[in-house]
């Protein structure tokens, strides 16, 4: 009679020899997935210990997943939108052979997870979250042959070890195997590398377990050649006109370059600032305030006498920027106006009516807005009551006479072109930097004014941020939208 030890050993051996069904991945060899992205699907296969016919019965009590083909050898697990809580979702399998000689049960757990990209504090270049709108993937900009960062956040009970990063076009951007963090928890910073292309877009897809596994998240990557231009800046005064003196003649242009390029890096661009001054001075002294109003007066669509006075003294090669104390457009009268007149006629060149709409400079004289007409003792405030071509109807009669050397003063914060003109006025240093960047945006990067208060290219100086975006922004003075990253010529 066997002793107790040999009995137990025998029982254990018989237990270990017991035939059981097992659950594998769809290929019948790999371990089954332990996580599936919300809204995605994966498959599992029952593997029998030997060949036999019988009935398969897959089941789950979870309301976070549904099972398709639950009576087949291979089952499809369809994840809903709700992620798993602790412990995941249990999947049961029962197999019974047709001849009744074999029955086995197994179960596994799977977690419904969600993977999201998040903007890094310093993404190196740009990261447009696209307002996190439903169905919109984030966009990451990277300079060619460089890299960027994005946070990866996982919820639902899995960690980064289950993820695989694939690219649709490795000639544009990809994630290298060596870029995986040593310890990928549920929140980690991921490197994405741009390749040798001047302008291209691809998708980085986050999958689970395999390079062809279910897609958990998509990041669109835009790789660009860096757009760089050199600008020469002059801070201009007229010593014969005290009102043209700058409040900050020592405005730090090198700091401005660094800060502005921090904004431009979103679209992979930069400017390099040179400065031109009089000897032993922070400024250039040029006689330009010819009408004595303390401002530089430009004329829409042509070169004014005051503008010509500056560019005759400051005209280096390349893009130029001029900072002055005050800045206006002056819409000159075509005909002299007399006290009592209730309309005035401006130069016809300011108007360009096409298709029933004003496309010329007259469009900037807004009905209901008030402006200054004239300078010196004859200056007065007028309010636009209506427009007809270059004729402006007034809300009331004029108080003074005005000659054709006078006009409507339209205050400018800045004006693009070459030179770019920038008004210092009473702006803070940051607002001066924003004006420089905004006007360079027009002249160098070809951006339009947009009606978005968070954009650097917002049509008004009352912007609340300095964003440059991939997401289309509505143009202010033209029809349509603008993608600021893609607009830049590379």
Assigned domain for 482 exists: no
Q: 123: how many CB neighbours lie within 10 A of its CB?
A: 21
Q: 276: how many CB neighbours lie within 10 A of its CB?
A: 14
Final residue before a domain boundary, out of 75, 95, 113: 113
Predicted TM-score (pTM) of the model is 0.87
Assigned domain for 68 exists: yes
Note whether 425 and 400 are same-domain residues: no
Note whether 252 and 312 are same-domain residues: yes
What's the pLDDT score for residue 87?
87
Encoded tokens for 381: 């405030």
Assigned domain for 475 exists: no
Assigned domain for 453 exists: no
Bin 263: left if φ > 0, else alpha if -120 < ψ < 50, else beta: alpha
Q: How confident is the prediction along the chain (490 residues), in pLDDT tens digits per residue? A: 455 555 455 444 444 447 899 999 999 999 999 999 999 999 999 999 999 999 999 999 999 999 999 999 999 999 999 999 988 999 999 999 999 999 999 999 999 999 999 999 999 999 999 999 999 999 999 999 999 999 999 999 999 999 999 999 999 999 998 887 766 799 999 999 999 999 999 999 999 999 999 999 999 999 999 999 999 999 999 999 999 999 999 999 999 999 999 999 999 999 999 999 999 899 999 999 999 999 999 999 999 999 999 999 999 999 999 999 999 999 999 999 999 999 999 999 999 999 888 999 999 999 999 999 999 899 999 999 999 999 999 999 999 999 999 999 999 999 999 999 999 999 999 999 999 999 999 999 999 999 999 999 999 888 999 999 999 999 998 899 999 999 999 9
Final residue before a domain boundary, out of 373, 405, 437: 405
What's the pLDDT score for residue 8?
53
Encoded tokens for 206: 């986050």
Encoded tokens for 253: 């242009």
What is the biggest distance separating any 2 CA atoms in the chain, rounded to whole angstroms?
133
- Give strand ranges (E) for 262-361: 269-275, 284-285, 296-298, 319-324, 327-332, 343-345, 353-354, 357-358
Task: Write the CB contacts of 52 (distance below 8 Å, at least 6 apart in sequence).
Answer: 97, 98, 99, 102
Q: 241: how many CB neighbours lie within 10 A of its CB?
A: 18
Percent of the chain as helix, strand, coil, to the nearest 5: 15, 40, 45
Q: What is the DSSP secondary structure assignment for residue 281, as one 8-state letter?
A: S
Q: What is the DSSP secondary structure assignment for residue 134, as one 8-state letter?
A: T
CATH number at residue 50: 2.60.40.10
Residue with tokens 């544009």: 172
Assigned domain for 479 exists: no
Q: Report the Cα 160 to chain-centroid distance in Å.
A: 27
Note whether 201 and 141 are same-domain residues: yes
What's the pLDDT score for residue 11?
45
Assigned domain for 470 exists: no
CA terminus-to-terminus distance, the chain: 90
Contacts 24+ apart (CB under 8 A), 31-35: 32/108, 32/110, 33/110, 33/162, 33/208, 33/209, 33/213, 34/88, 34/108, 34/109, 34/110, 34/111, 34/158, 34/162, 35/110, 35/111, 35/112, 35/113, 35/156, 35/157, 35/158, 35/162, 35/208, 35/209
Assigned domain for 32 exists: yes
DSSP string for residues in 371-395: EEESSGGG-EEEEEEEEETTEEEES
Task: Write the CB contacts of 368 (distance below 8 Å, at least 6 apart in sequence).
Answer: 383, 384
Q: 240: how many CB neighbours lie within 10 A of its CB?
A: 11
Q: Report the Cα 38 to chain-centroid distance in Å.
A: 27
Range(s) of the domain holding residue 53: 20-113
Note whether 219 and 231 are same-domain residues: no
Note whether 425 and 315 are same-domain residues: yes
Give me the helix-helix angle, 429-443 and 253-264, nearest 10°.
Answer: 60
Note whether 203 and 234 are same-domain residues: no
Tally the domains of the chain. Answer: 4
Final residue before a domain boundary, out of 113, 147, 175: 113
Radius of gyration of the chain (CA): 35
Note whether 274 and 419 are same-domain residues: yes
Assigned domain for 258 exists: yes
């Amino acid at each position: 009679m066997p002793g107790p030890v040999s009995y137990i050993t025998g029982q254990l051996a018989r237990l270990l020899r017991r035939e059981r069904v097992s659950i594998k991945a769809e290929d019948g060899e790999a371990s089954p997935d332990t996580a599936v992205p919300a809204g995605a699907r994966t498959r599992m296969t029952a593997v029998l210990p030997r060949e036999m016919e019988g009935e398969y019965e897959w089941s789950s009590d979870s309301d976070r997943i549904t099972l398709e083909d639950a009576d087949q050898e291979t089952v499809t697990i369809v994840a809903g939108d709700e992620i798993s809580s602790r412990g995941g979702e249990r999947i049961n399998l029962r197999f019974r052979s047709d001849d009744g000689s074999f029955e086995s049960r197994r179960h596994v757990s799977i977690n419904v997870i969600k993977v999201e990209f998040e903007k890094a504090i310093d993404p190196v270049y740009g990261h447009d979250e696209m307002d996190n709108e439903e169905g919109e993937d984030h966009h990451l900009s990277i300079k060619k042959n460089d890299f960027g960062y994005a946070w990866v956040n996982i919820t639902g009970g899995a960690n980064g070890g289950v993820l695989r990063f694939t690219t649709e076009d490795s000639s544009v951007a990809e994630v290298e195997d060596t870029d995986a963090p040593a310890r990928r928890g549920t929140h980690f910073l991921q490197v994405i590398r741009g390749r040798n292309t001047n302008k291209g877009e691809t998708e980085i897809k986050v999958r689970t377990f395999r390079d062809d596994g279910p897609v958990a998240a998509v990041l669109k990557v835009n790789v660009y050649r860096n757009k760089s231009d050199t600008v020469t800046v002059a801070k201009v005064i007229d010593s014969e006109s005290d009102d043209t003196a700058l409040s900050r003649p020592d405005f730090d242009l090198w700091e401005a370059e660094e800060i502005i390029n921090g904004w431009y890096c979103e679209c992979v661009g930069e400017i390099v600032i040179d400065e031109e001054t009089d000897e032993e001075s922070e400024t250039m002294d040029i006689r330009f305030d010819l009408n004595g109003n303390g401002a530089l007066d430009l004329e829409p669509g042509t070169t004014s006498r005051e503008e010509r006075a500056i560019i005759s003294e400051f005209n280096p090669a390349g893009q130029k920027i001029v900072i002055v104390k005050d800045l206006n457009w002056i819409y000159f009268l075509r005909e002299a106006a007399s006290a009592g007149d209730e309309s005035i006629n401006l130069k016809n060149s300011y108007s360009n009516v096409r298709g029933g709409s004003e496309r010329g400079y007259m469009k900037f004289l807004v009905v209901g807005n008030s402006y200054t007409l004239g300078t010196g003792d004859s200056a007065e405030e007028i309010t636009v009551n209506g427009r007809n071509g270059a004729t402006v109807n007034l809300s009331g009669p004029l108080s003074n006479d005005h000659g054709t050397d006078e006009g409507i003063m339209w205050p400018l914060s800045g004006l693009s072109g070459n030179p770019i003109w920038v008004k210092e006025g009473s702006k803070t240093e940051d607002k001066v930097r924003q004006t420089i960047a905004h006007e360079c945006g027009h002249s160098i990067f070809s951006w339009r004014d947009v009606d978005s208060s968070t954009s650097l290219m917002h049509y008004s100086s009352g912007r609340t941020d300095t964003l440059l975006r991939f997401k289309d922004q509505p143009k202010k003075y033209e029809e349509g939208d603008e993608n600021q990253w893609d607009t830049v010529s590379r």
